[in-house]
Copies of this chain bind each other. A is one copy, B any other.
């Protein structure tokens, strides 16, 4: 007899908007698996490697903006979810992690797959509960109903994140072959979160500051951004001469914003003219070290950061106030109030010197990198990535793997409107491909993944299942090892470079692609790339992998020259 409360759990998920589950196979978890698999309103994906399963669920939940249920059996299975759970925690992606477990009295009894699963995700989970092992008492069912509602509320509330329910299950694990499932009518308990607005004094103070200075900078961290907010930012720039700056992960590309700070802030020239008086940041992390060093050196007097996180996140060491409000609401009110006050005070021309100094730098960076890439003699990964990025069709997605992939894309930038994602919560290489697979499973858009060989082979189990999505397009830069170590001075100078840092290898992805049924293109020079691109970019329903091989030493030389270009900006 299957446990009725587990059927109700699945039903409650549906009632609370969860329609997707990623399931890693197991016996202890069978009742959970079947409760979700047989529910008519839940789509399931079965992924054998839990590490990949976790990141695939993360990729799905990121697209949906809703929690995805992530189910595994007991034992180290739960631990293999931990990297994705941790990335979801820092990136703010909602997940409902359901780990089957032995009843607590069986833990540490040398009886199969048992570990200490309570609180197994430590500090990297928003909330964690364990169900009672015995579901018979009426209070147990009350506890389950209430707890699951609370966990789903928690996952969905800002800042979003993963939640964990440990589910002890006794034998028998499987229903009888003729057993029919009847999903109950569990109670939903939602939580209405207060509408967050800022106190009037805060607005007064901020507006006063903004009117007192011509050096106001808006800086966008990693985020997926709405069209409405983009329009507001455009108006703030046009009407009040606030430079709006972001990286490739800020998703400002395809507009008139400044998206190459990583290049021009690397200049060794004095940059005092670009030092803001007031800095307003929103979104999550930044990739560029140049950018971080710039703000640590040219400190704004006031730094407002818009974020719902409880922690004071202060990577520039400049923060003066954190504002717990939605960015769109914040900038909307800001624009309206500034407009009103400007109207009252009469049309006074705003000094645009500050904006111009940023725009000139951006222009110089854009033409600088274009010229740089066009004038390289040898073909290498930097130019290849630029050529591919340029041709990614509008309205696609681009996923950027750590570690050189996201950096190349950040230097090169995009001119078209493509939504960009990256696992920058913890910046690990361990699930970049799985996250892109999860995204592709959830959207009809083409999903491009730019990835290096170490991240690719590390996460190759992202492709080991029966759901490889046909809209997936992998661009693999294979430089026979972790070339990032060759690009930075410290490891390059060590005799251990190739063995201990790059970990050189000579594996291509061809056989992995064959095993996974991907259309495969091997690219070794520009002609091959030009020839392959139309077919690779084609929207036909086949997952594809474009492997660009290049010489790490030549790539290093190009990158050295590029660093010189940045310094001279």
From known contacts A33-B496, A48-B454, A124-B116, infer whether A315 and B174 are also in contact, taking CB-CB under 8 Å: no
Of A207-215, A229-237, A498-506, A530-538, the one contacting chain B is A498-506
Complex CA–CA separation, A23 to B503 (angstroms): 11
Chain B residue numbers with a CB within 8 Å of A493 are 174, 176-177
> Is A51 among interface residues, defined by CB-CB distance under 8 A?
yes
B86 engages A83 (CB within 8 Å): no
> Is A466 among interface residues, defined by CB-CB distance under 8 A?
yes
A116 to B: closest C-beta gap in Å: 4
Of A74-82, A334-342, A368-376, A388-396, the one contacting chain B is A74-82
Q: Please provide the chain A residues from 13 to 28 with a CB less than 8 Å away from any CB of chain B in the complex.
A: 23, 25, 27
A109 engages B315 (CB within 8 Å): yes
A393 to B: closest C-beta gap in Å: 31
Chain B residue numbers with a CB within 8 Å of A50 are 430
A515 to B: closest C-beta gap in Å: 5
From known contacts A75-B428, A110-B285, A115-B426, infer whether A34 and B503 are also in contact, taking CB-CB under 8 Å: no
Complex CA–CA separation, A409 to B63 (angstroms): 46
A503 engages B51 (CB within 8 Å): no
Chain B residue numbers with a CB within 8 Å of A454 are 48
Of A268-276, A456-464, A556-564, the one contacting chain B is A456-464
> Is A567 among interface residues, defined by CB-CB distance under 8 A?
no
Q: Please provide the chain A residues from 439 to 469 with a CB less than 8 Å away from any CB of chain B in the complex.
A: 454, 457-458, 460-461, 464-466
From known contacts A115-B426, A430-B76, A457-B48, infer whether A34 and B496 are also in contact, taking CB-CB under 8 Å: yes
B110 engages A48 (CB within 8 Å): no
A433 to B: closest C-beta gap in Å: 13
Partner of A25, one of B44, B82, B482, B507: B482
Most buried by B among A76, A82, A124, A504: A76
Q: Please provide the chain A residues from 158 to 192 with a CB less than 8 Å away from any CB of chain B in the complex.
A: 172-177
> Is A512 among interface residues, defined by CB-CB distance under 8 A?
yes
A499 engages B48 (CB within 8 Å): no
A285 to B: closest C-beta gap in Å: 4
Partner of A174, one of B111, B115, B491, B514: B491
Q: Please provide the chain A residues from 75 to 113 with a CB less than 8 Å away from any CB of chain B in the complex.
A: 75-77, 79-80, 82-83, 86-87, 90, 108-113
Chain B residue numbers with a CB within 8 Å of A37 are 496, 500
A83 to B: closest C-beta gap in Å: 4
Chain A residues touching B, majority SS? loop
B499 engages A46 (CB within 8 Å): yes
Complex CA–CA separation, A177 to B116 (angstroms): 46
**Interface range on chain A: under 10, 10 to 19, 20 to 34, or 35 or more?**
35 or more
A33 engages B500 (CB within 8 Å): yes
A34 engages B494 (CB within 8 Å): yes
The number of times this chain is found in the oligomer is 2
> Is A554 among interface residues, defined by CB-CB distance under 8 A?
no
> Is A49 among interface residues, defined by CB-CB distance under 8 A?
yes
From known contacts A108-B311, A172-B490, infer whether A25 and B76 are also in contact, taking CB-CB under 8 Å: no
A308 to B: closest C-beta gap in Å: 14
A69 to B: closest C-beta gap in Å: 14
B77 engages A491 (CB within 8 Å): no
A260 to B: closest C-beta gap in Å: 21
Complex CA–CA separation, A428 to B117 (angstroms): 14
Most buried by B among A48, A120, A454, A489: A48
Complex CA–CA separation, A44 to B460 (angstroms): 25
A316 to B: closest C-beta gap in Å: 10
Partner of A112, one of B108, B109, B427, B514: B427
Chain B residue numbers with a CB within 8 Å of A482 are 25, 48
> Is A114 among interface residues, defined by CB-CB distance under 8 A?
yes
Complex CA–CA separation, A466 to B176 (angstroms): 49
A31 to B: closest C-beta gap in Å: 10
A507 engages B515 (CB within 8 Å): yes
A133 to B: closest C-beta gap in Å: 16
Chain B residue numbers with a CB within 8 Å of A501 are 25, 27, 30, 33
> Is A11 among interface residues, defined by CB-CB distance under 8 A?
no
For the complex of A and B, the 7 pairs showing the least CB-CB separation, nearest first, are A174-B490, A511-B511, A110-B285, A76-B428, A177-B493, A76-B83, A116-B123
Additional A-B contact list (5), CB under 8 Å, known A27-B501, A33-B501, A460-B460? A75-B428, A110-B221, A465-B503, A511-B512, A511-B514
What are 15 A-B pairs with beta-carbon distances under 8 A?
Answer: A25-B500, A25-B501, A25-B502, A27-B484, A27-B490, A48-B457, A75-B426, A76-B82, A76-B83, A76-B428, A110-B221, A119-B122, A466-B499, A466-B504, A511-B515
